[in-house]
Structure 1
Amino acid sequence: MSKKDIHVVPHKDGWAVKKEGGERASSVHPTQSSALEQAREQGRRDKVEVVTHGRDGKIRDSDSYGSDPNPPKDKVR
């Protein structure tokens, strides 16, 4: 099974949660924060990355909820 990241993208009715490669939105929300909350739940469940886009469509942030094959090398103190 291939990894399908989840994207939070601008939508004409607010913000949409979409799986990578999908044509339709999984859900549409009035605010980016509510869409992000839904995407995070789905990301944890599916163990994939959640990618957040800004109004301009550019990637603003991403969070991994799966097993990262290349974890950061720096150590948190």
Structure 2
Amino acid sequence: MSRDTHRIMPHEDGWQVKRDGGQRASRVADTKAEAERLGRQISRNQETELQVHRRDGSIHRSDSHGNDPNPPKDKA
């Protein structure tokens, strides 16, 4: 099953929040921290996966705000 994902990625004007399959950035911010804050809000509202990338394109962090296929186990 494919996950719906928003990504924080470099952009020519700073950092962008972009949904997979989208042609344009949802938001563009000057800093990575600001893009992460905006992206996290969008991802929570739309219940998507959020992947934060490094400048080289590799994934730095990934968070699920929707139906996580591998939720953490409760500690009893």
- TM-score bin, normalised by smaller chain: 0.7 to 0.9
What RMSD in Å do the two structures reach over aligned CA positions?
1.7
The structure 1 segments of at least 4 consecutive aligned residues displaced by more than 2 Å after TM superposition are 72-75
Q: Give distance in 2, aligned partners of 1:61 and 1:69.
A: 17
Deviations 1:49-70 (A, max 9, x none): 1100001111110111112122
Aligned residue for 2:40, secondary structure, equals helix
Q: Does 1:59 align with 2:66?
A: no
TM-score, normalising length: structure 2: 0.87
What letter is aligned with 1:32?
K
Aligned pair count?
A: 75
Matching residue of 1:40? 40
Give the whole-Å Cα distance in 2 for the aligned partners of 1:70 and 1:62: 13
* Structure 2 residues without counterparts, runs of 5 or longer: none
> What is the TM-score when the length of structure 1 is the normalising length?
0.86
Residue 4 of structure 1: how far off its partner (Å): 2.4
Q: Secondary structure at the match of 2:35?
A: helix
Task: Give the Å deviation of 1:41.
Answer: 0.4
Q: What letter is aligned with 2:9? A: V
Give me the whole-angstrom Cα distance separating, in 1, the residues matched to 2:28 and 2:74: 37
Structure 1: runs of 5 or more not aligned: none
In structure 2, the partner of 1:18 is 18
Percent same amino acid among aligned pairs? 48
CA distance in 2, matches of 1:64, 1:7: 12
